[in-house]
Chains A and B, each alone.
Chain A
Amino acid sequence: MNASRTEKALSIMGLVNWLGQVTLKVIGELGAVAIFFAYGFVLIFTYPFQFRKIIQQVYFIGVKSFLIISLIGLFTGMVLGLQGYYTLVKFGAEGMLGAAVALSLIRELGPVLTALMVIGRAGSSIAAEIGIMRISEQIDALDTMDINPMKFLVSPRIAASVITFPLLTALFDVIGMIGGYLTGVLLLGVNSGIFFNRIYDSVVLKDVTGGFLKSLFFALVVSTICCYQGYFTHMRPGGFGAKGVSLATTSAVVISCVLVLVLDYVLTSFLL
C-alpha cells in the first residue's frame, strides 16, 4: 500500500519535474530569440549601413516571390469568388460578393497566406544558407575577420523582410480581388459596378492598416526565426553537419508557420 503510494508520488514528481524543465527550456529559448532579434534589428541602423545587402535580400525575398504570390493570390481570389457567390446567393445577397472577397483578403488571407508562401520559398532557404555557413565555419571566419556576422547576415534579412512582406501582401490582395472579379463578375454574372462599389463602401482604412500591421509582425517573426534556426544550427542536440542543417530548415518552417497562425489570432483579437 505504502509502496504504491510512494510510486505514485514519484511519478507525479517526475511529471512536475518534466513540466518544469520544458517550461524553463521554452522560456530560455524565447529569451534567446528575443535577444537575437533585438540585436539583429538594432544593427540595421548602425554604421556602416548595408544598403547593398538589403537590396539583394529584397530582390531574393521579394522580387523572386512575385510570381508565386501572384499565382496563389489569383487562385485564392477566384475560389473566394466562387464559394462566396454560392453562399451569398442562398440569401439573395450576391451583390455583397465584392465586399466579402476584399475584406477576407485584406484582413486575413492576404497577410497570412503571403507569410506562409514566403516561409516556404525564402524562409527555408534563409535557414539552410545560414546553417551551411555555420557548419562550414564561414560564420567563424567572418568573426575572425572582425566582420560582425549578425550585421552581415541577419540584419539585412530582417530589414528586407520588413520591406517586402507588406508589399507582397498588397500585391496578393490586389491580385486576389482580380481573381474574385474573374469568377464573380465574368463567370457568374455579378454586376461589375456593384462588385466594385461594395468594395469601395465596405473597406475602411482600419482594415488596410490592420492587414499591413499583421504583415509587418509576420515579417519580423519569420525572418528572426529562420535566421535564428540557421545561425544556431551547431547548437542543436542530435544534429550535426548536413543533418543539422536539414533539421534547422524543418524547424524554421514549422515554427514560423505555427507562429504566424497563432500571432494572426492574437493580432486579430486586438485589432477588432
Chain B
Amino acid sequence: MTQPFIEFKDVSKSFGNLQVLDKVNLKIYSGEITSIIGKSGVGKSVLLKHIIGLLKPDSGQILIKGKPLSEFSKAEWKAFKRSLSYMFQNNALFDSLTVFENIALPLVERTKLPPQEIKKRVDFRIAQFELEEVRDRYPSQISGGMQKRVALARALVTEPTMILFDEPTTGLDPLRKNAVLNMIAHYQHEIGFTGVMVSHDIPDVFFISNRVAIIENKKIPFQGTPLELEQSDNEIVWQFIHGQEVLQDQLTGLNPRPEVEKLVEKLLKQVALKKTIFTVVLFTIDDLEEIKKGVGYIASQRIFQCLAMTLKRYMSNKDYAARFGSSEILAVLPGADASRAEEIINKISSDCSQQELMDPTKYKKVCIDFCLKAGILEVRQPMDMATLLASAKKNQKVIAKMECKGVSGKK
C-alpha cells in the first residue's frame, strides 16, 4: 500500500500519572477522510493535537510522509503547519471580528497578497458557503449552523492540504449535523484535502469516511475502512457500530450479543463433555422490516421492545437473551429442557395478545399484518452456532398474531 501521509508509531502520552495514549499506531492516508471515534475523554483530541504540534509524544514517533516530526527543521515545520487547518469543536471564531474578517484573517496575517486578491478569495468562500447575508455580522449575531460554516470557510480559505476536524457535529441538531457532514464530504471531493475527523456521531461519520480508527482504553484496537469495520469481530468495534441497538438493548434489559455468543460457545463445550444440556428459543417478528418501512421506525422498535421486555419478565437470572439481527431475539436457558421453554412461550403468547400493540385499531393510518414466531431447540449434542440457529428457526411456529382485518387503513 502507498506510504501514509501521517503515521503514529508506538506513540505514548501521559499527563502526570494519567496515561492517555499507550503505544498507539495510526495511519492517515493522503486525500482521504479518516475518522477517529471513541468515547469522550479517551484521548481523541490529544491525537489531533499531536499532529499540529500542540502536544509532543512522551515516546514513539510521528512520521510525516515517512520523516519523523522530531527531525523537521524550523522551516519544514512552518511549511507543514501552514498546509494544515484546524476546525475547533466550538468553532473558535474571533468574536470581535466580522464574518468577512474572520475568514480573511489567515490570509491577511500570513500572506503578502494584495487586499483585492484577499477580498476576491474571501468573497468566493462566502458565496460558496452561502454566507453573503451575514458577511458583516459578528459571530455572536449568527446561528450555530452558520458559525460552523464560517469556521469551515476559514479552514478552507488557505487551501490547506489537510484539515483536522475536532468534533465538527457535536451539539448540532440532526438536520444541521447532516448538513455539516455533507458539506465536509462535498468539499473533500471537490478540493481533495486530507481530512482527519474526531467524532462520536456513529454511524453517520462512516458514510463520509474512507478510513475509521477506534480509540479505546489508550490504544487503537481497530483501524480500517468502514466496510472492514462492519466485518470485524472485535467486541469494542461491535459496540460502536451497533450503538443504537446497544442503547435499546440496555433499555429492554437484553444482553449484548457477543456476551450471549460466548455463553453459547461455553455451553456447547460443556454439552460435548456431557456435563449439561441447555435450551435455546429463537423469537422472530415476521415482517418487522415491512412495518419499519410502512408504519414507521418507532412502531417497529416498540413492537421489538415489547417482545424483549415480556421475555425478560419470564426469564430467570441464569437465563440470557440477546438481539440477533434487527428482528430476532435468541434466548438461552442453561440447564433447562424444552418444557421450561414451552412454559415461557405460552406465557408470552397470552401476554402479547392483550398488548395495545396487537390491537389493529391502533394503526389508523397504515396497518400491516405481523406475527410473532418462536422456535425451541433443546441442545443435547455439540453443534456449531449456525446449525443451532438454523435448527431453532426450523422449529419456529406462530405464537401471536396481529391481523388488520376490517381496519380501514389496511394496506
Contacts and interface: CB of A to CB of B under 8 A. Distances in A.
Contacts of A147: 105-106, 109-110
B88 A137 contact: yes
Interface in A123-168: 129, 132-133, 136-138, 140-141, 143-147, 152
Given A144-B84, A145-B109, A146-B110, A136 B95 contact: yes
A138 B54 contact: no
Contacts of B93: 138
Tell which of B52, B92, B96, B110 has the most Cβ of chain A within 10 Å.
B92
A141 B54 CA distance: 11
A136 B109 CA distance: 20
Interface in B39-97: 52, 54, 78, 81-82, 84-86, 88, 90, 92-96
B105 A138 contact: no
Nearest to B109: A147
Contacts of A138: 92-95
Contacts of A141: 86, 88, 92, 94
A191 B264 CA distance: 111
A43 to B, nearest CB: 13
Contacts of B85: 144-145
A9 to B, nearest CB: 32
Interface residues of A, number: 14
B154 to A, nearest CB: 8
Contacts of A129: 96
Nearest to B84: A144
A144 B110 contact: no
Contacts of B158: 145
B110 A136 contact: no
Number of chain B interface residues as a range:
20 to 34
B254 to A, nearest CB: 40
Given A145-B109, A146-B110, A147-B110, A140 B90 contact: no
A143 B106 contact: no
A137 B92 contact: yes
Given A145-B105, A146-B82, A147-B105, A140 B92 contact: yes
Contacts of A145: 85-86, 105-106, 109-110, 158
A137 B54 contact: no
A152 B86 contact: no
Contacts of A144: 52, 54, 81, 84-86
A199 to B, nearest CB: 44
A78 to B, nearest CB: 38
A27 B239 CA distance: 52
Nearest to B52: A144
A133 B94 CA distance: 8
A126 to B, nearest CB: 13
Tell which of A136, A141, A143 has the most Cβ of chain B within 10 Å.
A141
B54 A136 contact: no
A145 B94 CA distance: 13
B90 A137 contact: yes
B92 A136 contact: yes
Nearest to B107: A145
A140 to B, nearest CB: 7
B88 A143 contact: no
A143 B109 CA distance: 12
Contacts of B106: 145, 147
B78 A146 contact: yes
A231 to B, nearest CB: 16
Contacts of A152: 109
A132 B90 CA distance: 14
A129 B96 CA distance: 9
Nearest to B79: A146
B270 to A, nearest CB: 55
A141 B81 CA distance: 12
Interface in A27-43: none
A101 B261 CA distance: 94
A140 B90 CA distance: 12
Contacts of A136: 90, 92, 95
Nearest to B77: A146
A125 to B, nearest CB: 11
A143 B105 contact: no
A146 B105 CA distance: 11
A49 to B, nearest CB: 13
A258 B58 CA distance: 41
Nearest to B164: A144
A136 B147 CA distance: 14
Nearest to A152: B109
Contacts of B92: 136-138, 140-141
A53 to B, nearest CB: 10
A20 B396 CA distance: 80
Nearest to A151: B109
Interface string B174-193: 00000000000000000000
Closest 8 CB pairs of A and B: A141-B92, A144-B86, A137-B92, A147-B109, A145-B106, A146-B81, A137-B88, A146-B82
29 contacts: A129-B96, A132-B95, A133-B94, A136-B90, A136-B92, A136-B95, A137-B88, A137-B90, A137-B92, A138-B92, A138-B93, A138-B94, A138-B95, A140-B54, A140-B88, A141-B86, A141-B92, A141-B94, A144-B52, A144-B84, A144-B86, A145-B85, A145-B86, A145-B106, A145-B158, A146-B81, A147-B105, A147-B110, A152-B109
Interface of B: 52, 54, 78, 81-82, 84-86, 88, 90, 92-96, 105-106, 109-110, 158
Interface of A: 129, 132-133, 136-138, 140-141, 143-147, 152
Given A144-B54, A144-B86, A147-B110, 6 more contacts: A136-B95, A137-B92, A141-B94, A143-B54, A144-B81, A145-B109
